[in-house]
Amino acid sequence: MVVRVLMERRDYEVVEAASGLEALDLVKDNVFDVVLMDLSMPGMDGLETTRRIRSGESGNRAPIIALTAHTSHNEQKMCLEAGMNAVLRKPFDSKQLDRLLGLIDHTSQEPEA
């Protein structure tokens, strides 16, 4: 709920998925500026969901930011290895979110072939 409010205040249209499988369906059918991926989701966790998105199953090249309460270096490494672009640790403040979104806004995405 907090993330939704923060994103909407920044003029992002927010689409939520209740599970990893639902997230996969959404990225197959929509173009997103950014994907905020919770690591703990029912059915399929955020790591596996990200791996499937990045494998080309969806064709989506949107930056993926992990949202997690896990703070270990190993967890962060696993997120990046799965194909996420960044990790935002909970609890976070709006300045941290703005910094990451600013980096994404200034980074060009790979052109599709």
Print pLDDT tens along the chain (113 aa).
788 898 999 888 999 999 999 999 999 888 898 999 999 888 899 999 999 999 875 566 889 999 988 778 888 999 999 999 999 888 888 888 888 888 776 554 443 33
Residue 40 counted as domain residue: yes
CATH number of the domain that 57 lies in? 3.40.50.2300
- d(CA 68, CA 39) in angstroms, rounded, equals 6
**Domain-embedded: residue 110:** no
Host domain of residue 94: 2-105
Encoded tokens for 56: 């080309």
Q: How many domains does the chain have?
A: 1
Specify whether the CB–CB gap between 104 and 33 falls below 8 A. yes
User: According to DSSP H, which parts of the chain are helical?
Assistant: 2-9, 20-29, 46-52, 73-82, 94-105
Residue 20 lies in a domain: yes
CB 51 within 8 A of CB 83: yes
16 lies in a domain?
A: yes
pTM: 0.83
In a domain, 81, yes or no: yes
> Residue 111: inside a domain, yes or no?
no
